[in-house]
Structure 1
Amino acid sequence: MSKSSDNTDNNVTREVEVAVIGAGTAGQNAFRQASKTIENIVIINDGFWSTTCIQVGCMPSKLLIAAADRAHEANHSDEFGVHATAQIDGQQVMKRVRDERSHFASYVKDQVDSWPEDKKISGRAHINKQGLIEVNDELIKANKIIVATGSSPYIPDNWSDKLGDTLLTSDTVFELTDLPGTMAVVGAGAIGLELAQAFKRLGVEVTLFNRDKRVAGLKDDDISNKAIVCLNRELTMHLGSKIHNVGTQTDADNDRISAFIEYEDSAGNAQQWQGEYVLVATGRRNNIEQLGIENLDVELDDKNRPKKLDKKTGQIDNLNVYIVGDANANIPLLHVASDEGYSAGNIVCENKADAYIRPPAIPFSIVFCSPQIVNVGMSLPEIQQDPELEYVIGRVSFDNQGRSRIMGVNCGLLHIYGCKKTDRVLGASMVGPDAEYIGHILATAITNDLSVKALLDTPFYHPTILEGLRTALRDVQHKMKIPYQYHDTQEDNF
């Protein structure tokens, strides 16, 4: 891969067949797979030798949500005749989040510790103009390079300086030793929704801001509107708001520093919020800008995303450069990063003919708020933009669905997009209780090309929330005018 001259080569301290830069989910998978057949390999990592998921993402956020759900159930059981008030110990809540996070991280640490020391380098890598990797006091020449440098929270310009210690991100929020009294969350994507609701349920006064009048990036207007209705039962949300300024001020009474947000609400009125912390959840950006990847003839677009990306392997054009996981900004989800790292680790091996390349996963995302928000397969706009697709929308509301009502979680809506020509599920969007399980079933159906009839031929146990899925599938089939023995949907509820 190197473009170095003979003079530069004289300064090379190590030559390797493969260099993996980054030791998150994608990087670790790539290193493990390539190491099975390649001896001359090195992995370089800056920061913790763990994964975004374990350290600052999936796992600590779900630990916080688990505590929040316990508190919410205790505080909202009056309708069942169960009267209680949760006593929340904020320090214990946050300590458990970190303790369990450390437990999960220990498995990764054990794995990394098992790798040969001479194949691990702790330090920040930079690719110079000769295509060589500079790290610490080494200059490494690699025939193939796998970039898996992950991502970092995006913070709007000057917000760090203006907010100082009152600014939190998903990378720092879990380091709080106690629950704050007040918090603003900026951004109503997956991270913002999950954390805003969790802190709210744990007794924090939370205000959620979002520039658009939608949540979770939902592209089906009906599902987005329903999600807003459901979430508004708990959260104070200023959707369609425009933030003009942020900063800090000192309280004259107790010299405490607080944060403020000056914003314009959806009606155009000037408003101000004031509180302890501002949690910025405005998305993440790939960590590739300072790497020097352009010195390997890799072209990036205006958002630092690699052009000419093979989404199966992460390979860039016909170069011996592979960009995988969050670093390529394709689909920033753990299972996608895992598959991309696995595939890249296989394809760099000499025996490419037998390399197993994982097929690209269908789009599938879950927001673990309550009710959950799930998208799977093609989105409604994507379907509508394809003139060849004749589609119908199967629908079910969870507002009066039997099991949902029994459990007191009856708020939600499911849309299934079915293809009339093929009797296949094109995609789905939903907000509802246990939507993660419905999403997995539909993802399996799309991946394995199952027909709507085949799905309806499987059993749906009564009474379960999954009977709502059957109702929506029957609606798809009815609208496609495909005969089916049972169409009475009343049994789904009772």
Structure 2
Amino acid sequence: MTTTLDSVSENGLANRIRHVDVAIIGAGTAGQNAFRQAKKATDNIVIINDGFWTTTCATIGCMPSKLLIAAANRAHEAKDSKAFGIHSEVKIDGQQVMARVQSERNRFAGFVEQQVESWSENQKISGRAYINNEGIIEVNNEHIKADKIIIATGSTPFIPEGWTEELGDRLLTSDTVFELNDLPQSMAVIGAGSIGLELAQAFTRLGVAVTLFNRNNRVAGLKDDAINEKAVACLSSELTMQLNSKIEEVGEYASDDQSSEKATTAFLNYTDSDGHAHKWQGEYVLVATGRRNTIDQLGIENLGVTLDEKNRPQNLDINTGQIGDLEVYIIGDANAHIPLLHVASDEGFSAGSSVCTNNTDAYIRSPAIPLSIVFCEPQIINVGMTRPEIEASEREYVIGKVSFDNQGRSRVMGVNCGLLHIYGCKQTDKILGASMVGPDAEYIAHILAVAITNDLSIKQLLDTPFYHPTILEGLRTALRDVQAQMSIPYQDQKPIQDGF
């Protein structure tokens, strides 16, 4: 570490400026990966973090949500087995459910904390960073000049204007919902994206009276109309959904039961898809309307970085996160490119490699193909290009289809609701993308992602074995449908049915 007297304050007192090779702002998945990688090349490095020194995934995201989903699925299987001749009475202990979520969540977060604790104290600063008009990082009472700056400040839940004040402690987000000590009696979930959909179904399966609201008629961001329609149909069997609804007003009022610890009740005034006015009231409103980065509050304009109207940095290199030819790298959720953990991890690795003094041999990970998985049941996936993107590219393509309603293993397991579309390129015999709602979709997504990444043809995929009876045989059926249509005009395409 070197310390210099590079500036003088207005009152004449010299400010000691710490000069480092690399400064990383934010210690989530992207920031921690960048730190570990850059540290291989230099010890003159600092990482600055405001808040917990774990990751969004471990603390408030992927892991606690999957813990809640795991409990919900156990409850659902126990309650919904009459078709198999299994009859049982299920009692859900809400306090025990949430205690396990929090205990296991803390265990996962603890592993991350242990790793951070192993880092030198001289290289860690807890505090909120701001970049002044001289490009100097101000944090607590320190001033830091960095040759290269990596920004990985993540994102926070988006809350519509005024809702925090109107709903008070009746408002929940994905950052706060896992701190509940017990399961509530009722809940409105706002937003049918991946977070909203997963949590709405999980709480429903755990006995909470949930209503899911969304401003349009889509779930999980699906762009294929047929897949979206099927997903809505599959999920509607257990989820109360108000799609295409508009929330006009939110608030809270004093509860009739003043002896209760919850002395207020939340309400929503909304119009449904037909324009009729309704009122919902219940215990909590969970806002799951997406997450937003907050880099506009960091002072990055003083580094020469410009943002668009959605806070996305301009001139972003998606390989490394570098902004144009500036020695500034914006990675993970902070750049609002693809806000997924595996993308943040790769971007952190690549940024940490590229900032090294001698980076000619640095390993820069190529950007992964788009891959998203929603862990509701049935699961929803998108891989590669979406159907609108393919149509906009004017490629000639076919759609291989398979329904899982009568697919052999799916029906055996009683999870037979789903549809898979694979988009095949007629010129190349390769997969452009896929969209699906159905059982075991997470595994089908990974197989298709491997195929696209490695440029495998439809024939090469079909040359691999598909064991019988498995749900993955449905993938083979869709691939066969793609292959059969390669020489058939689109308007004459007909799906084939999966055999037993």
TM-score by length of 2: 0.95
Q: CA deviation at 1:493?
A: 3.5
Q: Which residue of 1 aligns with 2:450?
A: 444
Structure 1 position 237 matched with structure 2 position 244: no
SS in 1 for 2:296: coil
Judged with a 3 Å threshold, the aligned counterparts in structure 2 of structure 1 residues 153 and 257 are, in CA distance, closer, same or farther, namely same
1:124 aligns with one of 122, 128, 134: 128
Q: Is 1:21–1:147's contact at 8 Å kept on the other side of the alignment?
A: yes
Rounded Cα–Cα distance in structure 1 between residues aligned with 2:334 and 2:388: 26
SS in 1 for 2:297: coil
Q: Which residue of 2 aligns with 1:338?
A: 345
1:329 aligns with one of 336, 340, 344: 336
Rounded Cα–Cα distance in structure 2 between residues aligned with 1:69 and 1:251: 32
Residue 366 of structure 1 aligns with an amino acid whose one-letter code is I
Q: CA deviation at 1:71?
A: 0.1
Structure 1 position 271 matched with structure 2 position 285: no
Structure 1 position 471 matched with structure 2 position 477: yes
Structure 1 position 63 matched with structure 2 position 50: no
Residue 332 of structure 1 aligns with an amino acid whose one-letter code is P
* Divergent runs of 4+, >4 A: 487-490
Rounded Cα–Cα distance in structure 2 between residues aligned with 1:448 and 1:405: 32
Q: CA deviation at 1:248?
A: 0.1
Q: CA deviation at 1:85?
A: 2.2
Q: Which residue of 2 aligns with 1:50?
A: 54
Rounded Cα–Cα distance in structure 2 between residues aligned with 1:90 and 1:60: 15
Q: Which residue of 1 aligns with 2:433?
A: 427
Residue 300 of structure 2 aligns with an amino acid whose one-letter code is I
Q: Is 2:191–2:287's contact at 8 Å kept on the other side of the alignment?
A: yes
Q: Is 1:24–1:51's contact at 8 Å kept on the other side of the alignment?
A: yes
Rounded Cα–Cα distance in structure 2 between residues aligned with 1:128 and 1:194: 41
For the aligned residue pairs, the C-alpha RMSD in angstroms reads 1.5
Q: Which residue of 2 aligns with 1:374?
A: 381
Map Cα deviations across residues 461-489 of structure 1 (whole Å, 9 max, x no partner): 0000000000000000000039xxxx996
Percent identity, aligned pairs only, is: 71
SS in 2 for 1:245: strand
Structure 1 position 307 matched with structure 2 position 318: no
Structure 1 position 295 matched with structure 2 position 302: yes
Q: Which residue of 2 aligns with 1:94?
A: 98
Residue 273 of structure 1 aligns with an amino acid whose one-letter code is W
Q: CA deviation at 1:350?
A: 1.1
Rounded Cα–Cα distance in structure 1 between residues aligned with 2:431 and 2:67: 33
Q: CA deviation at 1:251?
A: 2.5
Q: CA deviation at 1:7?
A: 3.8
Residue 183 of structure 1 aligns with an amino acid whose one-letter code is M
Map Cα deviations across residues 190-211 of structure 1 (whole Å, 9 max, x no partner): 0000000000000000000000
Q: CA deviation at 1:386?
A: 1.2
SS in 2 for 1:59: helix
Residue 411 of structure 1 aligns with an amino acid whose one-letter code is C
Q: Which residue of 1 aligns with 2:491?
A: none
Structure 1 position 402 matched with structure 2 position 408: yes
Residue 280 of structure 1 aligns with an amino acid whose one-letter code is V
Instruction: Return 118-127 or 287-296, whichever deviates more.
Output: 287-296
Residue 349 of structure 1 aligns with an amino acid whose one-letter code is C
Q: Is 1:403–1:493's contact at 8 Å kept on the other side of the alignment?
A: no
Rounded Cα–Cα distance in structure 1 between residues aligned with 2:446 and 2:14: 54
Q: CA deviation at 1:6?
A: 4.9
Q: Which residue of 2 aligns with 1:319?
A: 326
2:390 aligns with one of 376, 383, 392: 383
Rounded Cα–Cα distance in structure 2 between residues aligned with 1:351 and 1:488: 54
Q: CA deviation at 1:252?
A: 3.3
Q: Is 2:481–2:495's contact at 8 Å kept on the other side of the alignment?
A: no
TM-score by length of 1: 0.96
Rounded Cα–Cα distance in structure 1 between residues aligned with 2:275 and 2:306: 41
Map Cα deviations across residues 197-236 of structure 1 (whole Å, 9 max, x no partner): 0000000000000001110110000000000000000100
SS in 1 for 2:360: helix
Rounded Cα–Cα distance in structure 2 between residues aligned with 1:15 and 1:392: 57
Q: Which residue of 2 aligns with 1:458?
A: 464
Q: Is 1:65–1:198's contact at 8 Å kept on the other side of the alignment?
A: yes
Q: Which residue of 2 aligns with 1:152?
A: 156
SS in 2 for 1:157: coil
SS in 1 for 2:307: coil
SS in 2 for 1:354: coil
SS in 1 for 2:278: strand
Q: Which residue of 2 aligns with 1:282?
A: 289
Judged with a 3 Å threshold, the aligned counterparts in structure 2 of structure 1 residues 445 and 129 are, in CA distance, closer, same or farther, namely same
Q: CA deviation at 1:106?
A: 1.3
Judged with a 3 Å threshold, the aligned counterparts in structure 2 of structure 1 residues 370 and 488 are, in CA distance, closer, same or farther, namely closer
